[in-house]
Structure formats: structure tokens, C-alpha cells
Amino acid sequence: MVAIKRAIENEYKKEIEHAKCDLRDLIIRHNCAPIMLRLAFHDAGNYDAKTNTGGANGSIRNPVESANPANNGIKVALDFCDEIKTKHPMVTFADLYQLAGVVAVEVTGGPKIDFVPGRMDTLVPDSVRLPNANGGPRHLRDIFHRMGLSDKDIVALSGAHTLGRAHKCRSGFDGPFTRDPYTFDNSYFRELLKGETEDLLKLPTDKALVEDHEFKKYVQRYAKCKETFFKDYAESHKKMSELGFTTPKCGCH
């Protein structure tokens, strides 16, 4: 039995690697890194540490959850992932969505993020408990601390706004956060420290990072050193991608 289990685990690892390659090709071909990263965040970000509910479990594909206004536009990423799922049916949706986020960061020049597979799927919709873009420092802490994440995680993960832009039809806001929204770097933090700029968007939750003293020290640190940001981001992203998931000792499904 042990030998059979190990063989299945090894086969799953291989399938994950094949899916990763196909995700890389798809993301480059469709230039869809931002929405794929958003999918990973939105599937994991409903986690509640006290009740151990929600998290990276693939529930966002449930029509009730995906139709929530906080997930406007997410169907684009779900459909892309369905293409990969068809080719790799062994891979769970929960793993696939988080793998898509990891690949989205890597192909746009960001850090390599450690990925441990083994997440189990559910079709039961999570309660949508995502950040409100109009929130301030207290709101951000309420949301992220509920997940079990720290102030450092809040700022590091906010750095994902280096990719993509806001769309009025999705969030009510419009515009890019950086001058190169398809390159993962630390320019988001440099732009934050410049204050208001006419051609770049800063959400209330972005501004909160420089209004709060504890948050701002991380903004300054990441604006100064891309390597420091990449290191902290990779750690925080891994934590986010494993919310609600107990990593198996074998490191596989």
C-alpha cells in the first residue's frame, strides 16, 4: 500500500509540473498574468483562521461565489484554468488556481514561489470576505489578520498591484497602478511614495499603506530594495496560497 501511495504521489507531482508548463504558455500567449494572480488571491482570501473556514479550496468556481461583485471579471481566469484542467484532470482546481498565481508572478519577472501541491477541492461557496478597495488601515488589518497574516504580509501582498490595472466595470475604479503593468517589480512602492500622480491609480487601500506608520516602514523598505521585496513577497504569497491547507509531509497530493 505504501508503494502504491508513493507511486500515485509521484505521478501527481509530474502532472503538476506539466500543468505548470502549460500555464506558463497560456499566460504568455494571452498576456493574462494579472487576472490569474487575482484568481489565486480571491480563492484563498476568504479564509478565517478562527473557524478554519474558506481558503485555497477551489470554491470560487461555484457560480454563487464567482458571481459576487467582489469577483467581477474573475470568470475570464476560471475559463483559462478550465483549459488547463481539461488537459490535466488529475490536478485539483484548488491546486490549479494557486499554481496559476505562482506562474503569473514568475513569468512577469517576479520571484520564484515555493509551491506545495495537495489542496482538496470543494464546491461549497465560501463567504466572500475580501478587502474593500475603499478601506483604510483598520479595514486592511481586520481582513488580513482574520486570515492569520501579519502587517508585513499586508504590505508585501499589496505589492501584487505592480501587475495589472483596475477596470471600472469590475471595481468601479479605472487605471494602472504602475507604468509597466505587465512587469512584476517594486515600482508600485516607489509610486506610492511619490503621492498623487495624474496618470496612475491609487486606491484608498493603497494610500492606507503610506498613511499608517507601521505599514509605511515596509513600503519604504520595498521601494528602496527590490530584492528585499521579492524575498518577503515570496514568503507572504506562499502563506496566502496555503490558507486553509495543511501541507502534507510528503510535499505532494
* Catalytic residue ranges: 42
Q: Which three cell numbers stand for residue 63?
A: 457560480
Strand blocks (E) in 168-253: 175-176
Which of 189, 149, 163 lies closest to 49 in space, CA to CA?
Answer: 149
Residue 59 DSSP symbol: G
Which residues fall within 8 angstroms of residue 25, CB to CB, at 6 or more apart? Answer: none
Q: What Å distances lie between residue 251 and 5, 16, 207, CA to CA?
A: 13, 12, 38
Q: How many CA atoms are closer than 13 Å to the CA of 216, on its beta-carbon side? A: 9
Burial letters 67-95, b for 16+ CB under 10 A, else e? ebebbeebbebbebbeebbeebeebbbbb
